[in-house]
Structure 1
């Protein structure tokens, strides 16, 4: 896997973010039957100020959020509740997935508010962000049901409890 991690907030360094993120991303891709060895994506560890800028610039919502994703390709299904298309390698033989940004401030606050370990919540948000890159979404109810079920399966493989038992939505 080609994983470019950029850290703009040093607090991400102290929590073993790079190792955790690589493990979570690989587990997500393998769970979906995607060859993680040929996938390429970038991950930004930032703070609320930076993610607010990005959210404003790309979604016209200049407020902090926990995670944002920019898919390289639109893989979303047309039918609600349908599975997204699997990404295909490009002319280089790699699968460009896109970019994900995660805010330390919001993530830490949400984890504390839910009484969950930061590592578990980070794992959830990274899975969530990668699933968005792969065409999963939660706008339509059937899509949300599918996405949440897959998140729970992947998090279970990582030893993380179901985040939706206490309404912990990304």
Structure 2
């Protein structure tokens, strides 16, 4: 079965070490990771932001006044998945270092995570939903050649 089609807009805000994050996110790899996480054709915008923009978006749209690793703004799931995925570069970099992962590994995980949210997956609704979403992420990332992101 062929992978779903993806129209991707990959955007980088201007911030101190943006070159490091651009290097970890080649467009071809981002496209590959996302297509493996999709069950339907999609139109996605991926935006990499600094802490100020990440915090403002999380505060304004989720009522949580801190920068988080990934925000998913989903607009449609059918017939085409339409969503914006916003990743906060400093948070992603800090978490990758804390978890002993490469920046590339952590971005791949968070992009898969965000793409699943865009399709209606939710880990905050119940333990069973969280376990199902985690298992799906592990399966996708394993097929992409990445280790289990939840292994300690």
Fold match by TM threshold 0.5: yes
Inter-partner Cα distance in structure 2 for 1:116 and 1:158: 16
TM-score using structure 2 length: 0.87
Query: What residue number does 2:3 align with?
Result: none
Inter-partner Cα distance in structure 1 for 2:29 and 2:13: 17
Inter-partner Cα distance in structure 2 for 1:113 and 1:100: 22
Question: Aligned pair count?
Answer: 142
Query: What residue number does 2:52 align with?
Result: 49
Q: Report the aligned-residue RMSD.
A: 1.4
- Local SS of the residue matching 1:165: coil
- 1:116 has 2:125 as partner: no
- 1:60 has 2:63 as partner: yes
User: How many angstroms does 1:102 deviate by?
Assistant: 0.4
User: How many angstroms does 1:17 deviate by?
Assistant: 3.8
List structure 1 segments (4+ residues) > 3 angstroms apart after TM superposition. Answer: none
User: How many angstroms does 1:6 deviate by?
Assistant: 1.4
Say which structure, 1 or 2, has more relative contact order (CA 8 Å, 6+ apart): 1
Change (3 A) 1:50 1:17: farther
User: How many angstroms does 1:162 deviate by?
Assistant: 0.7
- 1:23 has 2:32 as partner: yes
